[in-house]
Amino acid sequence: MAAPDLKVFSGSSHPGLAQEICDCLGIPLGRSHVVRFSNENLKIKIEENVREMDVFVVQTSAPPLSEGIMELLILLDALKHSSARRVTAVLPYFPYARSDKKDEPRISITARLMADLLATAGADRVLTIDLHSPQIQGFFSMPADQLTAVPVLCEELAKGDLRDTVIVAADVGEAKDAGRFAKQLHLPIAIVDKRRTGDDENAIARAIIGEVRGKRCLLVDDEIATGGTIFSAAEFLLSEGATSVSAAVVHPVLSGKAYERLAGSKLERLLVTNTIPIPDGKKADRIQVLSVAPLIAEAIMRIHDGRSVSALF
């Protein structure tokens, strides 16, 4: 049983994951109530005492995204003004994580803005999983712990037959993460050279660095959004002589026409985690979802007890 001064609350984006975390910790999910007025304003009331408590708020980035962000900020503010001793924002998938640099004139580095908003709302620290870019940790004025779900994915992958398998980075920027998979699974690595133009999220594979002919390829990436990168890479790898292609991805954003693309693709399996909920009506046989609840629960206990979080990875 967790310490009596530990509480976990959930926003509306992923209550299932928050409940799983509480089950791992052996504590009930904190009680709160959300009212949505006719003018779309939100009112959130904390329905139990949190004075001098160590509180964690679980809210991931899922539709409706902007409402979820606002709900999180109000939750943090309500808890802070209810005299919680410490409030930690738990964001399994960090909002606006891909807006991490000023690569065009007159745009916002919105990931940094999110960090500032969390601090202003009252977050004392942040806990997240596999940021799109490591420099995002530097945007925070408070402690920010980044977990990785790569060991969770690797543990499941290791249960299968990995003979003649090669880890493939979906693009050059993912090579470092692919290296982490390759190291844990003791497999060779290859890299797809893709090119992206504009903001249309479409990427085209141009070349392959490494040997994939006659191999079973495992594409890895930190997230899958519309699926342009993964599905075009799968087609390209098969055209280059790969015998089969599967994918392992941390964040299943699966936006736009991703599900339709998956249905028409030659991808054998898509292994993901539950950092983002997959709607019941959208679940497909080829999608296998692994839970990050035990990982997050262990990190919460380490933060609560003052132990190292980095020891987890």
How far apart CA 146 and CA 132 sit, in angstroms, is 11
In this prediction the pTM is 0.93
The yes-or-no answer on residue 194 being catalytic is yes
Can you give the pLDDT of all 313 residues of the chain as single tens digits?
567 899 999 999 999 999 999 999 999 999 999 999 999 999 999 999 999 999 999 999 999 999 999 999 999 999 999 999 999 999 999 999 999 999 899 999 999 999 999 999 999 999 999 999 888 999 999 999 999 999 999 999 999 999 999 999 988 888 888 999 999 999 999 999 876 655 555 556 778 999 999 999 999 999 999 988 899 899 999 999 999 999 999 999 999 999 999 999 999 999 999 999 998 877 778 999 999 999 999 999 999 999 999 888 7
Name the catalytic one among 7, 45, 159, 194: 194
Domains of the chain: 6-148+293-312 (3.40.50.2020), 150-290 (3.40.50.2020)
What's the burial of 280, exposed, middle or buried (CB within 10 Å: 0-12/13-18/19+)? Answer: exposed
Q: Name the residue among 118, 115, 36 with its Cα closest to residue 73.
A: 118
Element (H, E) at 125: strand 125-129
C-alpha separations of 47 from 78, 306, 311 in Å: 11, 27, 35
